Chain A
């Protein structure tokens, strides 16, 4: 069969990739530039490169504090999701009266974007008395409907006979989940951890609303604050950007397959 040559396709894809990578390059270049970042014309390679800007970040802003807040909120969100979604996912594999309604309720909740509820969500959080706290930031992110269904699908794939055998051996329900089902659902766990990491690590609007004091700010809020205080006058801002992006990118590159599977299964299977 006659085949078209592949080089035009490679050429297009190389051009696309180049365009996609330019923003990364430009910000890294700026963060390494030692001199005035406003110098005209901007050079393609960093002038007199050094890591001064990265050191500067530590002096200009409470970076460790932002990092601590982000890490704690992310850990809370991930552990909450693992615990609650596992439990809910397992409950949904069972037959019980009203199950259809619960599933329908969850599916319709999924169509309510969180952004459409911020005003009352703020009032509720303030009523609960957890404004300006780690719990307040993490609370709406403690359980995710998509991830419940990912766990449900994964648990349903485990052979019934295995669960029955465990039950005959006298294992309690919670132990069946922890000892039998979870070890067989590693991909679902990975998907859960990765998706929730990305969502809570990157969350901006909700923390912006809930957090009042500077020492409760997470990394995205710190970035926005840095920008509003310093404008983009210093290379340190871009060093900060690079430092904030590295964890997310690392996780993505390490677990690309689980990440993409999670997004697509979450998006298509509901």
Chain B
């Protein structure tokens, strides 16, 4: 037997074995993602064009679900507006986090302790955060009413979470408290990747501090800021826990987000088809906003996808 002829089937066998191995190793993860990401996305899109409930057969109804949503459903518009306000407020939190990040990034003594404390609220269970904040806003036992009343700023206690004007800002403030540390960490990582010699060169050239910030720090932070904005957009989904516990969308629908409305439509009223149509809108909103954020941050912030 010559080596050449023996080698090629052996090599082929080895290659098939390698591919089989790769397949086996990848299969469990891919199965999970197929079952819970890809299949649901497709099914969801299909469901949104159907009339279906667990008890009756599916029927294609075209755009009827969407028509109902866009033309007849005031709650949908409330939920959409609130979601957009929710997302629109996240730049405030990002700006605050940037301020904190700049402070703790300097050679401040004890910066590590400050960082830990600011970040401490992020890994908490959101349901528990909701309960804590609900209590802080409480009319009698709450911290805010206590402070406001004992300093004489108000005479009557404010029913924060029961008021149409205050409920949404209050929920957003609770969300800020939880996510601020995460923004700070992302921005800190970004700040630390900016080469120090740029600042030194600018200082030698006599560039004033605010110009250094505007011309060096901000442009080089773009990818991190983009990331924060994406996190802010995604938080309008994940804040379900917070809203569910704090107000459950109330009073009326003053704090209804799209995600809480989807839950109510799907699992409260068993209108899976309509909830699917709502989900499609929410997902498209996410995609569109992410693309816009990417464009605004200079379009080069694709480091997330790359």
Q: What is the bound-complex CA distance between A23 and B26, given in angstroms?
A: 44
What are 8 A-to-B residue pairs whose CB atoms are below 8 Å? Answer: A23-B133, A26-B135, A106-B33, A116-B282, A124-B36, A139-B32, A245-B124, A268-B223
Shortest distance in angstroms between B170's beta carbon and chain A's nearest beta carbon?
Answer: 13
Closest B residue to A248 using CB positions: B123
| Distance of A115 Cα from B36 Cα, bound (Å) | 10
Q: A178 in the interface, Cβ–Cβ < 8 Å?
A: no
A140 to B36 alpha-carbon distance, docked (Å)? 6
Q: Which residues of A contact B123 (CB under 8 A)?
A: 198, 202, 248-249, 251-252, 259
Chain B interface residues (CB < 8 Å from chain A): 18-19, 21-22, 24-26, 28-30, 32-33, 35-41, 43-44, 47, 100, 103-104, 106, 108-110, 114, 116-121, 123-129, 131-136, 138, 140-143, 146, 149-150, 177, 180-182, 185-186, 189, 223-224, 227, 231, 234, 237-238, 240-241, 244-245, 259, 262-263, 266-267, 272, 275-276, 279, 282-283, 286-287, 290, 303-306
With A94-B18, A115-B237, A118-B279 known, 5 other A-B pairs at CB within 8 A are A13-B103, A26-B143, A96-B18, A119-B279, A238-B131
- Tell me the nearest residue of chain A to B248, going by C-beta: A228
A162 touches B (CB below 8 Å): no
Known A37-B141, A118-B262, A270-B306; contact A87-B39, beta-carbon cutoff 8 A: no
Q: Is the CB of A38 within 8 A of B141?
A: yes
A212 to chain B: closest CB distance in Å?
11
Stretch at the interface among A14-22, A54-62, A184-192: A14-22
Chain B residue at smallest Cβ distance from A220: B127
Q: Are B108 and A20 in contact (CB under 8 A)?
A: no
Question: For the complex, is A68 an interface residue (Cβ under 8 Å from B)?
Answer: no
Query: In the complex, how many angstroms separate the beta carbon of A137 from the nearest chain B beta carbon?
Result: 12
Q: Which B residue sits closest to A26, measured CB to CB?
A: B143
- Across-interface contacts of B30 in A (CB, < 8 A): 88, 102
Query: Is A109 positioned at the interface, with any CB of B under 8 Å from its CB?
Result: yes
Q: Which residues of A contact B223 (CB under 8 A)?
A: 268
A-B contact count (CB 8 A): 262
User: Which residues of chain B have C-beta atoms less than 8 A from A102's C-beta?
Assistant: 26, 30
- Please determine whether B149 and A41 come into contact, CB atoms closer than 8 angstroms: yes
Residue pair A264, B245 in contact (C-beta under 8 Å): no
On whether the beta carbons of A113 and B103 are closer than 8 Å, the reply is no
- Of A119, A140, A173, the most chain B CB neighbours within 10 A belong to A119
B-chain residues with CB within 8 Å of residue A6 when the two chains form the complex: 108-109
Cβ of A90 within 8 Å of any chain B Cβ, yes or no, is yes
CB of B186 within 8 A of CB of A232, answer no
A268 and B304 contacting across the interface, CB-CB below 8 Å: yes
| Interface pair A124/B29, CB less than 8 Å apart | no
Q: B36: which A residues are within 8 A, CB to CB?
A: 114, 117, 121, 124, 139-140
Measured CA separation A152–B292 after assembly (Å): 31
CB-CB under 8 A from B262, the residues of chain A are: 118-119
Q: Which of A120, A148, A198, A252 contacts B43 (CB 8 A)?
A: A120
A153 adjacent to chain B (CB < 8 Å): no
Q: A20-B121, A88-B26, A201-B125 are in contact. Are A121 and B40 (CB under 8 A)?
A: yes
Residues of B within 8 A of A148 (CB): 29
CB distance from A18 to the nearest CB of B (A): 9
Q: Judge whether A38 and B140 touch: CB under 8 Å.
A: yes
Q: Is A12 close to B, CB under 8 A?
A: yes
